[in-house]
Amino acid sequence: MDIPLRTHATTQARPALLRYSRTWDAGVSGIAEARDAVAALLAQARPAPGRRPVQDAQLVVSELVTNAAKHAPGPCALALELLPGATALRITVTDTSRQPPRRRRPDPRRIGGHGLHLVAMLSHGLEVTWLARGKEVTATVPLLPAAAG
């Protein structure tokens, strides 16, 4: 008995990773661009994150780019990477300073100095990687609601 052979082409369409990167000579002008880049990248995410996670990610990127612009002579770079399933956004800011990010003591009367507290509250940790000429600071912002439990 002859059994016909069937061939099946199985090509699973793998969604391309959504990424963004940009380098600025002076970080100050890049802050608004960085927030806009987060919104544009997350607008392409599937499943689409809610408004609040997008705002959280924009706040985190704004704080990290602001710190790089304020404390490093430049240039600074931003890399955004959407994790698989649009579960989180990895934000990496590279600058030329060898000084680690420092959280200042909370002081409700002080203007400024609260950014790293916000970053810590809105992300899964803050990671610093030392480079030959500076550092990378990475925060991962969750985009899906936390599971109740």
Task: Provide the residue type at 124 as one letter.
Answer: H
How far apart are alpha carbons 54 and 36 in whole angstroms?
11
Q: Are 51 and 39 in contact (CB under 8 A)?
A: no
CA distances from 34 to 31, 59, 113, 133 (A): 5, 10, 20, 22
- Domains of the chain (ranges plus CATH)? 19-142 (3.30.565.10)
How far apart are alpha carbons 88 and 129 in whole angstroms?
20
DSSP annotation of 100 reads: P
Residue with tokens 């609601």: 145
The crossing angle, in degrees rounded to 10, of helices 30-43 and 51-71 is 150
Look up the pTM and report it.
0.82
Residue 132, SS3? coil
**What tens-digit pLDDT sequence spans the chain (149 residues)?**
444 444 444 444 555 689 999 988 865 567 899 999 999 999 999 999 999 999 999 999 999 999 998 888 878 999 999 999 999 999 999 999 999 888 777 777 767 666 888 999 999 989 999 999 999 999 999 998 764 44
